[in-house]
Amino acid sequence: MRAIIQQFGPALKSVTLESYIPAPLSPSQIQVKMRYSTINPSDLITISGAYRSRISLPFIPGFEGVGIVHQCNNLDPSFSIGDRVLPIGSAGAWQQYRNIDEQWCFTVPSQLSDEQAATSYINPMTAWLMLSERLIIKKGMTLLINAANSAIGLMLIRMLNHLGVIPIAVVRRDNTQHQFEGCKLQRIININNKDARYSLTEIKDHLGIDAVLDCVGGIEALQLSELLTERGQFINYGLLSGQPIPAQFWLERPDIDFSYFHLRQWIHASEKAVIQHKLNEVMQLVYEGIAETKISARFSLKEIHSALTYVQINKGIKKGKVLLTF
């Protein structure tokens, strides 16, 4: 059984289930029997047709999951039947048996549970790569994160604390303190609060912001850029506002050290050994609880429409990730 997209559109309308016989393996492929896959916002965005220029129909959704090697067709395979692997690099995780090129499968340490392994890629890898590959960390630096109470925001805070940085959290509503349990923060600021402007100006005048991690974009990105010290660092990794960063951003702050971060671009530009090394670092952080992901619900693949309904109903409610089981 697999989920398949024949036409782009809302996930509930576009996702259909079908029985299938896996194609014969090419010499470079292995067949992975999936154990768990996740439902991520990136899956739903892809199904909607946002990336139709690089996605051909029909396609199998799912960018994240874990499984075991079920079949090999290589004279000198890197994996053996029964090995647990993380297949990445493209969509295709919402199916029971997945044929994938061996170079896009990565080993999983034995101490991780299947659920931990299945959720160890998109958010944890994005967060850790930004901090270890892009962000210039300095002792005593002041760093600001917006959408800080999102799943990846909380993960970034725990990772920054692990690296000795205590950030400032920017949120969009009051009474979020309980969501940051176990996190070390300088302060929490509700950017929609009437006093937010004063608080941010005070921080700028007394501390200065050395770096911003932004996943909102739009006008909020422009507002936060005003707080940065000269040549401060600004990393954008999402557009939750649905709006691009305005041109005024660069006109007003041409000195900023700005960069976009997209996991897909980094993965496809890196050698396998480098990716495996970073995954090993990330999976250790997952095991230690620093990069853990909360699971809010589990559905079998046959219940995919119930799973998608659950995701839609709970959109914006920070309960955790939804898993598909096989």
pLDDT (0 to 100) of residue 298:
97
Q: What is the mean pLDDT of residues 106-119?
A: 97
In total, the chain counts a number of residues equal to 326
Distance CA 185, CA 180 (A): 8
Q: How many CA atoms lie within 13 A of 36 on its CB side?
A: 19
Instruction: Quick: pLDDT tens for 255-289.
Output: 999 999 999 999 999 999 999 999 999 999 999 99
Confirm if 27 and 74 have CB atoms less than 8 A apart.
Answer: yes
- Domain borders along the chain are 2-119+293-325, 123-264
pLDDT (0 to 100) of residue 316:
67
Confirm if 72 and 302 have CB atoms less than 8 A apart.
Answer: no
What percent of the chain is predicted at pLDDT more than 90?
85
Residue 310 φ then ψ, to 5°:
-60, -45
Confirm if 142 and 119 have CB atoms less than 8 A apart.
Answer: no
Q: Which two tokens stand for residue 311?
A: 């995701």
Give the residue from 259, 257, 221, 251 showing the smallest Cα distance to 239.
221
pLDDT (0 to 100) of residue 18:
97
Q: Was domain 2-119+293-325 assigned CATH 3.90.180.10?
A: yes
Residue with tokens 């955790």: 320
Q: How many CA atoms lie within 13 A of 19 on its CB side?
A: 0
pLDDT (0 to 100) of residue 279:
98
pLDDT of 165 strictly over 80: yes
Instruction: Quick: pLDDT tens for 39-77.
Output: 998 899 999 998 888 899 999 999 999 999 999 987 667
**pTM for this one?**
0.94
Q: Within the chain, where are the H helices?
A: 11-14, 41-48, 114-118, 122-129, 151-162, 196-206, 218-225, 248-252, 263-269, 272-287, 304-313
Q: Which two tokens stand for residue 236?
A: 């954008």
pLDDT of 91 strictly over 70: yes
Q: Which two tokens stand for residue 143?
A: 């760093």
What percent of the chain is predicted at pLDDT more than 70?
98
Confirm if 98 and 106 have CB atoms less than 8 A apart.
Answer: no
pLDDT (0 to 100) of residue 319:
77
pLDDT (0 to 100) of residue 231:
94
Distance CA 120, CA 97 (A): 20
Could you say which of 3.40.50.2000, 3.40.605.10, 3.40.50.720, 3.30.2350.10 is the CATH number of the domain covering 123-264? 3.40.50.720
The confidence band for 111, taking pLDDT boundaries of 50, 70 and 90, is very high
pLDDT (0 to 100) of residue 63:
97
pLDDT (0 to 100) of residue 294:
93
Instruction: Quick: pLDDT tens for 178-235.
Output: 999 999 999 999 998 878 777 887 877 777 899 999 999 999 999 999 999 999 999 9
Q: Tell how strand 257-260 and strand 228-236 pair up.
A: parallel
Higher pLDDT, 303 or 176: 303
